[in-house]
Structure 1
Amino acid sequence: MNDTTSSPSRLLKITAVAARWLLALLIGAWLMLALSVLVLHAWIVPRIGEYRGALEAQASKAIGVPVRIGSITAKGGTLFPSFELRQVVLHDPQQREALRLARVVASVSPRSLWRLNFEQVYIERPELEVRRDTAGKLHVAGLSMDTDTTGEGRGADWFFAQREFVIQGGIVRWTDESRGAPSLLLSDVQFIARNGPRSHTMRLDATPPAGWGERFTLRGAFRQPLLTVRSGNWKSWDGVAYAELPRIDIRQLGQHVTLDARVREGDGALRIWADVEDGQIAGGTADVALLRVDASLGKSLQPLVLRDVTGRLAGRMTHEAQEFSTTDLQFQTPEGMRWPGGNLWFQHLPAKGRVAERGALRADRLDLAALAMIADRLPLDAKSRETIDGLAPRGLVERVDASWQGPLGAPDKYQARGRVSGFGVASQPAEPRTVPAAAAVPGP
């Protein structure tokens, strides 16, 4: 009986002690918060101007570049004050003025006080310099966004530690020293970034220069690994990036973005989703609506000229798989041949351990004559182009479903089924060989 009655008694005592400790911790946290508010209003707010030099030194140390503050004032009309800074200037490592801010408003909250950062940083009409140097490193207002081990990433760490960062009516000058392209000036820039312990979301709206197109939107939503120490280590992030370009001149875009093509002409609308893994683009999807395209997809290829290109393109390339697909893709060749809005899906899985290389293909509504007409403009190997030119296929592939195991050029196993209407190829003579060979290909 004694053991039965004593066990609940010990459990109650332990629970009571734990409850008292939790209550003490809660009261202590509230007292610390109250003390912080008291110090802010009674000591820091009335004397904030006296701390300008110390704040410049701390900001320079935290961000990693020299910071100068013209003046600073505090507004204490609410429980947590806000701070207004005027004529804030950031210098790059060469002591050049990289950013001048006429007005900055920074607000705090219990959460930001606990993390020693700001709840919101609001900036009006800044003129910002964004530069990629010849080594490929990104610099924003003199702050290095690189995340190597030399400690240069303090600017990125500080930026992505702020709870909310807002820019209104800004001007951004983008300079890519690695390309030697002329600087790109974006006007009426609206930007917002929200950062959590592991999440980062951003949105940028801007108007490009005349001749580039219409106002565009860029968005991103990313997550960093659980045990990441540095907030600015974006090379470890996963997420999705999105771009909406209501009208864009792709020829102009090609000066600042790596395109696997030499674009002579391209005008229309684009929507692009990019999958990001470990800070690298692993795949994506693009909705296109282009009035005209004139591009070379290889150094030795003839220009590919298409009109009224619409549809969706998607692809993914990782170590585990390569995929490519089209949805409702339509276009018209200069000769008047029209692709009928076909769908295609291709997958290739490389060999892994004991699992052999394999692949699959599904397609419908493919015009073979239109494909043959543009084959010599696509980045195919010489043998494939020669075979297509010789066969001159025609007809409409209504449905094909194929899979294989082994190399694509010489599979060990394969199976295919499909339906083709109006199919025909040019006749081909049989090649003379010393061993039995396939018969000649008959024509119509």
Structure 2
Amino acid sequence: MNDTASSPSRLLQITAVTARWLLGLLFAAWLLLALSVVVLHAWIVPRIGDFRGALEAQASKAIGVPVRIGAITARSEGLFPAFELRDVVLQDADQREALRLVRVVASVSPRSLWRLNFEQLYIEGPQLDVRRDTQGKLHVAGLHMETDTTGETRAADWFFAQREFVIEGGTVRWTDEQRRAEPLLLTDVRFVSRNGARRHGLRLDATPPAGWGERFTLRGQFRQPLLSIRSGHWQTWDGQLYADLPYIDVTRLGQYVSLDARIREGNGALRLWADVDDGRIVGGAADLGLNRIDASLGKGLQPLVLRAVTGRLAGQMNADTFEFSTTALQFDTVDGLRWPGGNLWLQHTPAKGRTPEHGALKADRLDLAALALIADRLPLGE
């Protein structure tokens, strides 16, 4: 009788050993989870106040600025407890109060414990000051932000490592000392950030001051590179931004944003999309529902005055080619002419090496009289 035939094959032996190792690792993981739950409920929750100093030190190290916590309590409402922090204060370099958070609720999960972060951070009613000084430097909550760097800060890494970050009932005050404009106040701010291993979703809802328009929404969906180590290096992200403005008075933007135009009047609804590649906007589209536009788009040009502007504008730009298109664009001019709602597509590629400059144009339902009138008011050059 052949003993070799009755003995287990080498492949079967390797499979059995591997299965035992995997089973042991799974058991160890469940044992570690159970031990973590016991430690949380039996040791940390009853003594959470004693860890306030250690938490302050850890938070200061993670964010990069001094953090002080007035009080901390824990609630054991499920398998994993929730922690409530009161009077959380961020200090600037001179130990002055830069931001005070009245109430912060932090929850954990097995996944967040493994990554040493939180499953959710909920902040109620924060008041945030954002300021640009006379030298153009940006300060957020009194903390200096280097706007000319790559954004490689510990605060950004920590923020985008949190699974979910929620702000309810916040207030944001924007002060531009360089432009000497009146402070801009956004109220009833709601902000949600959800972050995964490679994906980041952001949403901001806010109400502008009286006369500016209606409550608006900003959203963003982004992907970071597969081999990216840092969570906060947004300059390498790809994705899309979206803005929904049911009604806005564009005239007021000139006080706070550099525009290559002098806008005397402009109001209505806007929906905007922007494509992002490596942290830069490379294209996008805009759905227009404007009541009236009255703007001068360059020195020596006559004002461009349009009424009842509807339709879509879209554009795309890369290293070699620029594309622009309109879809169902309609408007009336102050001279009584009407753009009939035709579609237009333009492509332009500049000269490169031995390849000459070239382009293409497709259009339908054009009103040449309206086109000539508008062209005289646009900065098109010779």
Is TM-score (shorter-chain normalized) higher than 0.5?
yes
Mapping of residues 219-368 of structure 1, within 5 Å: 219-351=219-351, 356-368=356-368
CA distance, structure 2, for counterparts of residue 142 and residue 133 of structure 1:
11
Deviation at 1:280, TM superposition (A): 1.2
User: Aligned AA for 1:201?
Assistant: G
**Deviations 1:401-431 (CA, angstroms, capped at 9, x unpaired):** xxxxxxxxxxxxxxxxxxxxxxxxxxxxxxx
Q: In the alignment, which residue of structure 2 is the partner of 1:75?
A: 75
In structure 2, do the counterparts of structure 1 residues 191 and 176 end up closer, same or farther at CA, with 3 Å as the change threshold? same
User: Aligned AA for 1:125?
Assistant: G
Q: In the alignment, which residue of structure 2 is the partner of 1:437?
A: none
CA distance, structure 1, for counterparts of residue 4 and residue 368 of structure 2:
86
Q: Which moved more, 1:254-263 or 1:241-250?
A: 254-263
User: Aligned AA for 2:173?
Assistant: R
CA distance, structure 2, for counterparts of residue 26 and residue 145 of structure 1:
44
User: Aligned AA for 2:39?
Assistant: V
The 3-state SS of whatever aligns with 1:59 is: helix
> Identity over the aligned pairs, expressed in percent?
76
In structure 2, do the counterparts of structure 1 residues 187 and 73 end up closer, same or farther at CA, with 3 Å as the change threshold? same
User: Aligned AA for 1:42?
Assistant: A
The 3-state SS of whatever aligns with 1:31 is: helix
CA distance, structure 1, for counterparts of residue 66 and residue 374 of structure 2:
56
Deviation at 1:32, TM superposition (A): 1.3
**Deviations 1:207-249 (CA, angstroms, capped at 9, x unpaired):** 0001100110111100111111111111111110000111101
Higher relative contact order (CA 8 A, sep 6+): 2
- Is contact 2:324–2:346 with CA below 8 Å preserved after alignment? yes
CA distance, structure 2, for counterparts of residue 222 and residue 178 of structure 1:
32
CA distance, structure 1, for counterparts of residue 14 and residue 65 of structure 2:
53
Match status 1:160 vs 2:160? yes
CA distance, structure 1, for counterparts of residue 217 and residue 352 of structure 2:
40
Match status 1:206 vs 2:203? no
CA distance, structure 2, for counterparts of residue 233 and residue 338 of structure 1:
48
- Is contact 1:170–1:189 with CA below 8 Å preserved after alignment? yes
**Deviations 1:12-35 (CA, angstroms, capped at 9, x unpaired):** 000011111111111111111111
- Is contact 2:152–2:232 with CA below 8 Å preserved after alignment? no
- Is contact 1:130–1:175 with CA below 8 Å preserved after alignment? yes
- Is contact 1:72–1:86 with CA below 8 Å preserved after alignment? yes
User: Aligned AA for 1:327?
Assistant: T
The 3-state SS of whatever aligns with 2:360 is: strand
Match status 1:195 vs 2:188? no
Deviation at 1:331, TM superposition (A): 1.2
- Is contact 2:151–2:233 with CA below 8 Å preserved after alignment? no
Q: In the alignment, which residue of structure 1 is the partner of 2:170?
A: 170
User: Aligned AA for 1:198?
Assistant: R
User: Aligned AA for 2:70?
Assistant: G
User: Aligned AA for 1:45?
Assistant: V
Mapping of residues 391-410 of structure 1, within 5 Å: none
Q: In the alignment, which residue of structure 1 is the partner of 2:17?
A: 17
- Is contact 2:137–2:147 with CA below 8 Å preserved after alignment? no
Structure 1: give runs of 5+ residues left out of the alignment: 384-444
CA distance, structure 1, for counterparts of residue 180 and residue 284 of structure 2:
28
The 3-state SS of whatever aligns with 2:201 is: strand
- Is contact 2:321–2:348 with CA below 8 Å preserved after alignment? yes
**Deviations 1:295-329 (CA, angstroms, capped at 9, x unpaired):** 11112322211111111111112213211011111
User: Aligned AA for 2:81?
Assistant: P
CA distance, structure 2, for counterparts of residue 250 and residue 264 of structure 1:
9
- Is contact 2:186–2:209 with CA below 8 Å preserved after alignment? yes
Q: In the alignment, which residue of structure 2 is the partner of 1:110?
A: 110
In structure 2, do the counterparts of structure 1 residues 241 and 139 end up closer, same or farther at CA, with 3 Å as the change threshold? farther
The 3-state SS of whatever aligns with 2:257 is: coil
In structure 2, do the counterparts of structure 1 residues 280 and 25 end up closer, same or farther at CA, with 3 Å as the change threshold? same
CA distance, structure 2, for counterparts of residue 87 and residue 209 of structure 1:
28
In structure 2, do the counterparts of structure 1 residues 267 and 19 end up closer, same or farther at CA, with 3 Å as the change threshold? same
Deviation at 1:121, TM superposition (A): 0.3
Please, what is the CA RMSD of the aligned residues?
A: 2.4
CA distance, structure 2, for counterparts of residue 282 and residue 3 of structure 1:
71
User: Aligned AA for 2:158?
Assistant: W
Q: In the alignment, which residue of structure 2 is the partner of 1:57?
A: 57
In structure 2, do the counterparts of structure 1 residues 156 and 66 end up closer, same or farther at CA, with 3 Å as the change threshold? same
In structure 2, do the counterparts of structure 1 residues 312 and 182 end up closer, same or farther at CA, with 3 Å as the change threshold? same
CA distance, structure 2, for counterparts of residue 364 and residue 195 of structure 1:
45
The 3-state SS of whatever aligns with 2:320 is: coil
User: Aligned AA for 2:380?
Assistant: L
Deviation at 1:253, TM superposition (A): 2.1
User: Taking structure 2 as the reference length, what is the TM-score of the superposition?
Assistant: 0.93
Deviation at 1:351, TM superposition (A): 4.8
In structure 2, do the counterparts of structure 1 residues 35 and 67 end up closer, same or farther at CA, with 3 Å as the change threshold? same
